[in-house]
Amino acid sequence: MVHCPICGSENGSFATVCVSCKGFLRAKIENLDLFATVWMIVESPSAAFLKIVLSKHKNYVVLLSALFGIAVTYEFFWFMRWGNSSVNLFSLLAGGLVAGPFVGIIFLGAISLFLVQIGPKSVWKNTLAVVAYAGTPVIFSLVFIFPVEIAVFGGYFFGSNPPPVVLDPVAYYTLRTISALVGLWAVFLVGLAISVLKELPIRRGVLYSLIMFAGIVGSLVAIRSF
């Protein structure tokens, strides 16, 4: 709830104009600046998600979804150990670059559709926008950690013959632990985004996010074991 500073009326949290006196409740946000918003996600994520919800245009959502998709596609190749087949490193890297953007847009679009339905309903466009920005840590790992993994392990990173952990255990566990923590950070951010978007307690939003991602990871484990 936001109280109007002019007449004192109660307004919805995302209102920009007062329902009774038509006074402005806050400055209009027309556009999102990519780097300023991403930095805000790191520094004060709740404020960043509120800004994203309030912004008229949801800039960079397609770009962020595409980069997120490339990152999760490489993680998927690693998880499925696709480096074991006759596919070489170049094909895997190129395949991720080409398929990743579509994977990201479809994946984030789908989980946003799901999240719209959980708890109080939210607008899909807003849901997709906060989720795409919440995936920022995964993009950090694509830019900063993944190249190191490829530099250290080459094509062996994606396989198990020999397992990359045998080649350099310290590097492997260090890099994979950082990636896992970055993934958890993104899961937490999605939860925080849901709580801001749907005006729920943070723990509720985080719980929804944890359940959803546990379901996704569980499905992947089931698929791999076939």
> From the CB of 11, what's the least distance to Zn ion, in Å?
8
Print the binding letters for residues 144-183 with Zn ion: x by CB under 5 A, - otherwise. Answer: ----------------------------------------
| 143 contacts Zn ion (rule: CB under 5 A) | no
What residues pair up with 17 in beta bridges, in sequence order? 24
| 4 contacts Zn ion (rule: CB under 5 A) | yes
| 17 contacts Zn ion (rule: CB under 5 A) | no
Distance between CA atoms of 217 and 223, rounded to whole angstroms?
10
| 25 contacts Zn ion (rule: CB under 5 A) | no
Q: Which value, in Å, is the radius of gyration of the alpha carbons in the chain?
A: 20
SS3 49: helix
Whether cis (ω within 30° of 0) applies to the bond prior to 162 is yes
> From the CB of 19, what's the least distance to Zn ion, in Å?
7
Q: Which of 21, 47, 151, 216 binds Zn ion (CB under 5 A)?
A: 21
Q: Is 135 exposed, middle or buried (0-12, 13-18, 19+ CB in 10 A)?
A: buried
Distance between CA atoms of 96 and 98, rounded to whole angstroms?
6
Q: Please name the amino acid found at residue 165.
A: V
Q: Which of 23, 163, 215, 218 binds Zn ion (CB under 5 A)?
A: 23
Please identify, among the stretches 6-14, 165-173, 187-195, 204-212, the one whose residues bind Zn ion according to the rule CB under 5 A: 6-14
- Give the binding site for Zn ion (CB under 5 A): 4, 6-7, 9, 18, 21, 23
